[in-house]
């Protein structure tokens, strides 16, 4: 549905090859757009990584708190309104790294390195959250070495990169945007 919305906006604005930039869930949509549109001149995923869903999505030695984090996230999703819970289920089922490996359009993934979302978690779940983020960053580095046109950048912000460092985000994005004719 979100990809159809992007296509609808592109049609309404008569954009043949839009650059697509999104934050969080919107960043995942931007990546999916780039995967389905090789002609896309540039796409940006701003800190859209989803949540851990499997025990293998962590860096470092096994820690029982990881199971607690997975359980906590599962229960949090169950408490959401039905449509939002369905959306989160779709996000959790998305293999974003497979999407990244399929992309032929240029894609930049921007990650905030500050605590951000981890601040919302109970204290005992913050270390496993950081182990998950380390896994995400490691996987992003691997994809960047494998996939031409895929790049990763980090800014010292929390999850709301665009609000916390809009100038830094613009410095990363503007050089890649096509010049309008």
Domain membership of residue 64 (yes or no) is yes
Q: How many domains does the chain have?
A: 1
**Domain presence at residue 58:** yes
For 32, 65, 68, 88, 116, the CA distances from 123, given in Å and listed in that order, are 33, 11, 12, 23, 13
Domain with 90, as residue range(s), is 19-176
Q: What is the pLDDT of residues 12-65, one digit of tens each?
A: 999 999 999 999 999 999 999 999 999 999 999 999 999 999 999 999 988 899
74-130: pLDDT as tens digits? 888 888 899 988 988 888 889 999 999 999 999 999 999 987 677 788 999 999 999
In a domain? residue 117: yes
Q: Specify if 120 maps to a domain.
A: yes
Cβ atoms 31, 100 nearer than 8 A: yes
Distance of CA 54 to the CA centre of its chain: 17
Q: Report pTM.
A: 0.92
């Amino acid at each position: 549905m979100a990809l159809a919305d992007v296509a609808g906006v592109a049609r309404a604005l008569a954009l043949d090859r839009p650059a697509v930039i999104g934050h969080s869930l919107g960043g995942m949509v931007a990546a999916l757009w780039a995967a389905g549109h090789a002609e896309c001149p540039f796409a940006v995923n701003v800190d859209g990584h989803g949540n851990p869903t499997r025990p293998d999505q962590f860096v470092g030695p096994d820690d029982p708190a990881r199971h607690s984090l997975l359980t906590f996230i599962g229960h949090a999703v169950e408490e959401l309104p039905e449509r939002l819970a369905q959306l989160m289920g779709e996000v959790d089922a998305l293999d974003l790294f497979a999407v990244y490996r399929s992309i032929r359009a240029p894609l930049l993934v921007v990650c905030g390195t500050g605590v951000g979302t981890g601040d919302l978690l109970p204290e005992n779940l913050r270390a496993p959250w950081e182990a998950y983020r380390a896994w995400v960053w490691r996987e992003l580095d691997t994809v960047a070495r494998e996939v031409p046109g895929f790049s990763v950048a980090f800014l010292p912000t929390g999850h709301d990169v665009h609000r916390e460092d809009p100038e830094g985000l613009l410095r990363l994005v503007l050089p890649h945007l096509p010049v309008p004719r």
